[in-house]
Structure 1
Amino acid sequence: MTGDPDLDRRKASLRAKLKARRAEAAQANDGANGAAIATLAADRFMAAIPVAVGQIVSGYWPMDDELDPRPLLMQLQRKGAMIVLPAVQQGTRLLQFRLCDDLADLPPAGAYGIPAPAATATALVPDILLVPLVGFDREGFRLGMGGGYYDATLQGLRAVVDKKILAVGYAFAVQQVAELPHAAHDERLDWAVTERGAVRFASERQS
């Protein structure tokens, strides 16, 4: 919640519409999570965004109708990237990123039932974050589920970590809209990747 009732209502209305759009896209492409589209999106990412051996890439375990990033994460892992998955830290809005060596096995359920590596897994700071979303716009603003976890985490990392951190929205193309309502604390994406291609957004961080 943003503290602005009008903005919250507008976001909630768009969220419902875009979740329905996302569900339709997933079901229209080989069932849940759109397997064929996920493979195509992985190819789009690989063609557009360079990832070096040893770089740390944060993925996510797909929930509901989110675009499945595992085909991409497996490709990156084979090329020498280190893959981490986010875990909610109880009592905060900050995510911790834990090493995931085996993307074939479902991790245990963490906070709020979201699969995440165990607390004993190595925690790392990612170079690239694949960010799940409900919608995104042409300026790089993102609409999530409303919890604010990625916004808070990105804001914290970008403020204190001494390296460039890329936030890459990963979604079906139908999840893009012309413009999203946003608050001052909403963090912008650096890229968005869909089955139709990759788009880089202009921002002060890229100058």
Structure 2
Amino acid sequence: MIVSDDLDALKAKLRAKLKQRRAEAAAANGAAIAEVAATRFLEALPVQAGQVVAGYWPLADELDPRPLLRQLQACGAAIALPVAQAERATPLEFRRWTDFGTAPPAGNWGIPAPEGDADRLEPDILLVPLVGFDKTGRRLGMGGGYYDATLAALRAVRPVLAVGYAFAVQQVPDVPHGERDQRLDWIVTERAAIPCGKQD
């Protein structure tokens, strides 16, 4: 069993490597890749009118989900963005957002987020940013623990579909993981929509 300090070190080393890969992919052709990834998502994962899709506002070189979110909104889905709390490893809130041409104001940790007067929504589908992933749905994030806490809380109440959204170059054979790390149900990249197996 990997002890916590060793796991953190393994994740940090891999995170640095994959952030470089992600930055290179975004710089090379990020806008075009975002359009293709949106098509891959829509082909594999139909969303019903009225369903709530929680996306994210892209930071730095994250794969931009806005082309997808615009299309989902046009098809009748309600779109929400996450609101991070100041305390790490706590569940995110999700609030309605409709304007994908204007960034929300910066919230905790500088993350753009809808303000408190926006409607709070409970997601049916959660689009999850990441630094790295493997084919079993293991995800390497930024280390704050927000999405793991969020998925644990949501799944304790009702089913929610968690979809990692990333450049294909962010895939690795195996993501180091601990007991609290939540798996994703799907990964969508510009190359494919990947249903994630549950095997270890």
TM-score band, normalised by the shorter chain?
over 0.9
Q: What corresponds to 2:173 in structure 1?
A: 178
Q: Do structure 1's residue 56 and structure 2's residue 52 form an aligned pair?
A: yes
Please give the residue correspondences for 1:1-207 in structure 2 after superposition, counting only pairs within 5 Å: 4-29=4-29, 34-91=30-87, 93-160=90-157, 162=158, 164-203=159-198
Unaligned runs of at least 5 residues, structure 1: none
**1:2-35 deviations in Å (ceiling 9; x for gaps):** 9711111100000000000000111111xxxx10
Structure 1 residue 90: Cα displacement = 2.9
Unaligned runs of at least 5 residues, structure 2: none
Q: How many residues align?
A: 197
Distance 2:184 2:150 in 1: 13
Distance 1:83 1:3 in 2: 39
- Which amino acid letter does the alignment assign opposite residue 6 of structure 1? D
Structure 1 runs of 4+ aligned residues shifted over 2 Å read: 89-92
Distance 1:128 1:3 in 2: 32
- Which amino acid letter does the alignment assign opposite residue 9 of structure 2? R
Distance 1:65 1:18 in 2: 11
Structure 1 residue 202: Cα displacement = 2.6
**1:160-188 deviations in Å (ceiling 9; x for gaps):** 2x3x2000000000000111110011000
Structure 1 residue 103: Cα displacement = 1.4
**1:98-124 deviations in Å (ceiling 9; x for gaps):** 000211111111111110111110001
Q: Percent identity?
A: 63
When normalised by structure 1's length, the TM-score is 0.92
Distance 1:89 1:119 in 2: 12
Two-structure CA RMSD over aligned residues (Å): 1.4
Distance 1:7 1:143 in 2: 12
- Which amino acid letter does the alignment assign opposite residue 137 of structure 2? G
| Secondary structure at the counterpart of residue 85 of structure 1 | strand
